[in-house]
Structure 1
């Protein structure tokens, strides 16, 4: 009705996922109702209620399982624009009539689509729509998903050009307010990482593993890394996917104009990209959780019928003691009953302490409401060291809850710079942070035990060769390198961090998270040529075609030690950057800096030096 969906008379939010017909063991859809029911039950546990079958239609056993699981289906004619992907005659009206004859008995069959991202032409598009509405008026119809949908050929929009903004990635609020029909985000998010090669032994059927363990391990050896670093980067990629899954779906549900999304995709499609294969799915190709990624229960927290959402001030997840923070809580409510005198309880906790807590005033909500219900205010308390905290909000008396991460830092105390020197190009920036620091090359710098310099600065390298401890701050310009590509692969696939004294009390958990989002840029490409010395890595990331080191330590032929960063913005005016540089300086001045390189712990595992 109008610009909203209704199911059984109640407002309906379409929580859809994309299915690209992925069956690694059988190649084709198995004629096994129970197998399909197992998979669809997992989708339901993750909160999904709708599936789009990209340019294909499933077999009857799938529809039977969907009827039982409660998943609505959008089968799709096999057309890209007006092109048939196989060598059959172009006749979409015939094809949609055949679809109707064979599948109309299934209650899960919810919507028609004539294909993907295009236009069959006019007046054919209107003729097909009119046939569908006259013959089967209870089902929805769109012309093509992400295609040229109009009021004359569709019941709803899936915006992707054709005079509309795109909905494949999070959009600016208000972008679709003027639409007069419901809209569903098309192929939404599509978070590009690499397929996990550790699954290779599982490919025992019709499809060979797209990535082999042998090739994976060879790529690590070529970069000078071991399996522990490689596996940690894979797990970190899954965790980064999980962060953007949550952020993206929450952002869509914060827009009252949005009527649903087709999350792309439920399982890895494993398409070739840049000499490898993608793993953009929520689950792996076998419908299993990804190591380091979200579970279906965690996914449902932001993908259920009713979801608690937030808008925060400041927007960054990093704050300092004394900062005032506000979390405005919203609810997207599409459950079966209205809410009456409901309450939200909230807490802000670390692993050991409750920093703040409260309750919002009771409120009422009708089915289909999406709105703010109140704000939670707190001040970051005085802290002895940085800490990770979780803000959690729960709908009282239910299992509906959501949570968001924060990282809090104490106010920075003055840190003196006596005993340290900086190269001339960094002196102005560093001497304000470290009063008493000397400029390298002056008499005051003669007694400095630690020298901090820019990338390959001759004076730093000379001082290090003569036995002084050194920190080399490499380039860290440009935009943060923390986002994942849409289908494509960028130079951020996943980044892992060791448990090591170089980080001091920096509250990281071993993987790239918003704690690092203002710091991480583009790292040092690996491998490092052996003639440059021996290196121990403390932060390693995977990119499109190679691995990168962000923080490492070099041991020279005569025992000289040089701590090196590249692509870590330690000079930015951020509390996390300032604290991390302080921690690195403390480490470089400590006995641990001179200790013999040993195994480093990465996400619970040990990596060889």
Structure 2
């Protein structure tokens, strides 16, 4: 086999109006280097777009582009079979020496042209037409998919990856498919041979294999097989079985042993009439693995696993296209694996060969998809034939990779369900080496698995699984259902909701907690995409007199986001028999309105929010868990928790002893103990026992840390540990069990506030009476009625879902948590960090953040709510100012639930602070501004932003 690389300079001509039928005598617009894109070399429109929807392309070109270069074909290629390969591109047409060869339209696999009849030795003109016009791939769902959308990969024009001409003898190996059987320690081979000599030939196929990425090398002796090659245009397929022997190495996430398989074909010269005969060699890889749906969970080689997925949306800002280098993908995946990820779902796109090669080496379970995201007409009409062909090409191109374990037809599709099921069956009939489903979160309003699905990816399940109507009542199986709506605990799980299903269920796109950006990140974007959206958001922050606050906002919103991500992930682990989850996201998504939901950024680099080992404490193959009913306690209660261990590691944990401790912030041990020594079976969520501790002697109020760890002879158990914060408050004679949040919150404090408000007047309106008290030098605590707040938002504990611009139609406030100085005397008796945690849930959920944009520029609320990047309001739920000779404190937290110990304690801390000399505010806000903020019947657009009707599609 001989190759001529086609990488290098090409002449380029842009043809946006599609005016040229070919390119022979027309002059070029310049030179471009392939592999590459028009964006990278500055061709097309130089943009000044400053959309907030996504990153901005520095140059944009859409339409046909012609690429031309001359190559020299050696004499030795005479009578050879010649192919031209373009690893990844858009819709293409090819001309050789002025003769049109054909066209290709696949987005997910190489474009391969047989140019045997067009190529001859000597100078050869190669002309390539690449068309990225939106109408050129006019298939439902493609333009919105992550194969082409402007929100991530962009609709680039060019050719990337491996570009080459390749010559073989007229007898060659066209394909080798591997069918591993781990349980039998063998691999089946399906070798497809080509022969265009015109006659039948006898030859020999030789196979040899060896492991390539393992500490222990395993090689198998070569094996020879006589074959007969048919003549004509038909291909010869030979089935072989290769016994790997008892020392065979298996592939999984823990020990991803990859084998290289060399297959060679030799035909003797006596057969061919050529002195040296014909020969060809092809190398492929495989892994010895059996990946199966085992009841409601997945297994690999008989070991039950739990999918901890990352949703990959093709975010590569420097190039706006995916890497085709294995080394780059290895780095990418090792970063994800450091955060406990073992699974990639490629949202509505399929990555190139290098990604599969990297996943093979790193040990990642891959789920590529068709380039389809269609909420209405999926697989309708002629689209079916296109997507069927695309599915076949994906399976044929990447099917040998052991990491390729799952395949779906796209994202959130709705359309012809019968054809979806038909295509799933067709894929399985063609290639049974993996599991299939007809989509991720298909049929949003009536979620259900397809009739032929092997697994079910969904965000919600119907309350009535037998309901057949279109829009059914649904319940989430992710944190959007309970984190903001149910009092915090560590007991939520989904087993009852999943009981009707007998196949693995995967939580779809869990998380999506928005984090405020650090605008210094924009300096990273020096490639074809610029973060002009960040510039607009940063300017908005400055316009609201908060320039430079972004770093603190990111730290506080990021800490809350991680708290919510942990609960989201642990709820999945607490669910017996759950298949796993797919995070959205581990990293940021800079499109669709700018969804900065990642704990790492778009470059897969840390934001400094959490170390990988800390994240792995709750996102790993083995996760210790503590189940308890509440995060806030009193000294009259005994803390009680059930210890569990989710063991989806490679094997049983034998003879381990769970040990626990409860410590105060100063290191004082409140209590400690151990549970019985026991074995934890592989693939099970094991209950280890119950721990109990009296809280009577706690110096309340206090924040405590409850830790669970393990002691055994296995050194790996040292990494098995987890801890949870709890808050303990003084007991009260009038206390009762903390109840659920009130539906209609009343911010008026109860009359029996634990600490009396001495010399403080409580008011509900900023009226003449209140102003008179302030003029007389009184101290006033204003707890305004919501109807009195002209400029305010609804409260929320949870950070905004995805981003405000996309989902503001759902009525969410869009806020991102709170920021304050925990050393402020207001919190003297209310232990807290500088950000929200679970003890803030009741206080924040029905709070009423006030929009303080009309306050003086330098004014900073004591308890600031972080607003969405789309508004950047200066928001507060506790502010203070001197008014005349008096002192005014305004609190819009929800203080109504006097039965909740954390609410009662905050009220006590507030009362103590207001009665102290430390409460001595400056005259920060004028009476006129206070009148404007606190004396109006309803909010206006400044508080809520523009209305939104449905999903926002950006240009």
TM-score category (smaller protein): 0.7 to 0.9
2:320–2:529 contact (8 Å) kept in structure 1: yes
Which residue of 1 is the match for residue 295 of structure 2? 2
1:386–1:505 contact (8 Å) kept in structure 2: yes
Greater shift after overlay, 340-349 or 193-202? 193-202
Which residue of 2 is the match for residue 354 of structure 1? 669
1:193–1:484 contact (8 Å) kept in structure 2: yes
Give the drift of 1:216. Answer: 2.0
Deviations 1:402-442 (A, max 9, x none): 1111111233699xxxxxxxxxx99993356456x7xxxxx
1:302 aligns with 2:625: no
1:450 aligns with 2:760: yes
Which residue of 2 is the match for residue 169 of structure 1? 478
Give the drift of 1:319. Answer: 1.0
* d(CA) in 1 for partners of 2:529, 2:559: 27
1:65 aligns with 2:358: yes
* d(CA) in 1 for partners of 2:562, 2:596: 13
Give the drift of 1:232. Answer: 2.2
Choose from 314, 324, 333 the match for 1:31.
324
Deviations 1:292-344 (A, max 9, x none): x33321221111111112220xx221111121121111121111111223221
1:404 aligns with 2:724: yes
SS at match of 1:18: strand
Which residue of 2 is the match for residue 95 of structure 1? 390
* d(CA) in 2 for partners of 1:597, 1:320: 38
In the TM superposition, 1:139-538 aligns within 5 A as: 139-147=434-442, 150=449, 152-160=451-459, 165=474, 167=476, 169-170=478-479, 172-213=494-535, 215-222=537-544, 224-228=545-549, 230-273=550-593, 277-291=594-608, 293-312=609-628, 315-352=629-666, 353-397=668-712, 398=717, 399-411=719-731, 429-430=750-751, 433=754, 449-475=759-785, 481-489=796-804, 490-491=812-813, 492-498=815-821, 499-520=823-844, 521-530=846-855, 535-538=859-862
* d(CA) in 2 for partners of 1:428, 1:180: 50
SS at match of 2:583: strand
SS at match of 1:537: coil
Give the drift of 1:181. Answer: 1.1
Greater shift after overlay, 515-524 or 128-137? 128-137
* d(CA) in 2 for partners of 1:379, 1:476: 40
* d(CA) in 1 for partners of 2:635, 2:785: 30
1:570–1:578 contact (8 Å) kept in structure 2: no
Deviations 1:321-377 (A, max 9, x none): 121121111121111111223221111112221111111112222211113221111
Q: Which structure features the higher share of strand residues?
A: 2
Greater shift after overlay, 471-480 or 280-289? 471-480
2:647–2:684 contact (8 Å) kept in structure 1: yes
Give the drift of 1:280. Answer: 1.5
* d(CA) in 2 for partners of 1:378, 1:331: 20
Q: 1:167 to 1:67 in 2, by over 3 A?
A: farther
TM-score under structure 1 normalisation? 0.85
Greater shift after overlay, 108-117 or 535-544? 535-544
Choose from 549, 553, 557 the match for 2:876.
549
Choose from 357, 373, 382 the match for 1:80.
373
2:747–2:783 contact (8 Å) kept in structure 1: no
Give the drift of 1:7. Answer: 0.2
Root-mean-square deviation over aligned CA pairs: 3.1
Which residue of 2 is the match for residue 11 of structure 1? 304
Give the drift of 1:124. Answer: 3.2
2:655–2:678 contact (8 Å) kept in structure 1: yes
Give the drift of 1:209. Answer: 0.7
For structure 1, the residue ranges without an aligned partner over 5 or more in a row are 415-424, 438-447, 599-609
Give the drift of 1:77. Answer: 0.5
1:475–1:567 contact (8 Å) kept in structure 2: no
Give the drift of 1:213. Answer: 4.6
Give the drift of 1:105. Answer: 2.6
Q: 1:37 to 1:242 in 2, by over 3 A?
A: same
For structure 2, the residue ranges without an aligned partner over 5 or more in a row are 1-293, 466-473, 482-493, 735-745, 788-792, 805-811, 925-955
1:177–1:257 contact (8 Å) kept in structure 2: no
- Higher RCO (CA < 8 A, seq sep 6+): 1
Greater shift after overlay, 458-467 or 522-531? 522-531
Deviations 1:529-563 (A, max 9, x none): 359x995521101234333111111123x453212
Give the drift of 1:278. Answer: 1.8
SS at match of 1:211: helix
Which residue of 2 is the match for residue 42 of structure 1? 335
TM-score under structure 2 normalisation? 0.55
